[in-house]
Structure 1
Amino acid sequence: MHSKYKDYAFIITLSYLTLGLFYPLFGYVMALCMLTAIGISLFAGRKWCGTLCPRGFLYDKFLGQNKKKSIPAWLKTKQARYGFFAIFMGVFMWRLYLTGGDVYAIGSVFITMGIISGLIGFGLGMLYKTRSWCAICPMGTMASWFASLRAKPAALTLAADCKTCRVCEKSCPMDVPIVSYKSTEPAPVADHNCIKCKVCVSTCPRGAIA
């Protein structure tokens, strides 16, 4: 069932963005996705990003998965992530303010910001790895923040008997340095870029990641 969702979830994004151009109220679907992502992050970190996000699956569908150049180091820095968040959310909130509370205008803001950010994501996905957008996605940034509120943030666990073959890192769509978390005890891979897609879990030849 989950595999079928991943195959067709991109239709959700295409549908509400396209219909939203003519019927702005469809923009509230994007608002619902945002609230759902935040809610899930409270107990499962960025699981929404890797297992449910229809935009992410849109990129996977049309750009292929994990077949591009590595995500640039600068794009994964706090400066880039927080800087983009501040600019994007600043423009977003300002445009919401200008609507004067009109429900149709608010819906249009969600649609236009969704299209703009979607195009940025496509551009990054064409230049680098497909999910490069996820490194600076404002929702991903907020999900990381909310996940950090937990006493023990949800994370994958790397077993102590990992052989550092780095197959997991080569398959990771977010270029997470998984092996760097290795310890003499099972260690959490608590990287803010981890989107919980579990590609590393399925590719590890020793089953050292869970």
Structure 2
Amino acid sequence: MAELFKRHAALGIRRIAAEVVVHPRRDPGVFREGVEFVRPFQKKYQHGLLLLDAAWEGAPPDIQAQIDRALADAGLGGWARAIVIAPELEIWVWTDSPYVVEALGWAGRKPVLGDWLRQKGLWRASDPKPSDPKSAVESALYEVRKPRSSAIYRTLAKRVSLERCQDAAFLHLRKTLQEWFGATP
């Protein structure tokens, strides 16, 4: 996420300084303790984001509404927002950019990555993206013996065009950032 925030022009915002703080209990922690977790940052930052995946063990169906309500009830609704990525962050990986193939270690391989994922039943031809994006990333990396690392996601966040991303959570994130940090102050 830190690399994504550096792409101010592509996001349609002015330059911002952003700190990414990971909750020690990851997505369930953000869901259950997000308001308390983000509150201390209110004095330090202009705004706060609670970013989490929708797909985790025990996740309720209405995560976004529950967190938004908790933020509003705590008086943080104008300062902080929740962005719930469905099903998970890896959904943003799957674009038709050649950088995805390169970052996942599939450049020059046959069959091409999309075809291989379809052959393995990980991506239906009728779908724009794999239904289980995390499993698709992990399977693709395993096949080429490339370890999963945050460096892959940093590379993608730096290089992949944001223009074609139509994921609802990404659009919500971009709209939120534009409201808070428009291109002109």
Q: TM-score range by the shorter chain?
A: under 0.3
* TM-score after normalising by structure 1: 0.23
* TM-score after normalising by structure 2: 0.25
Which structure is higher in helix share? 1
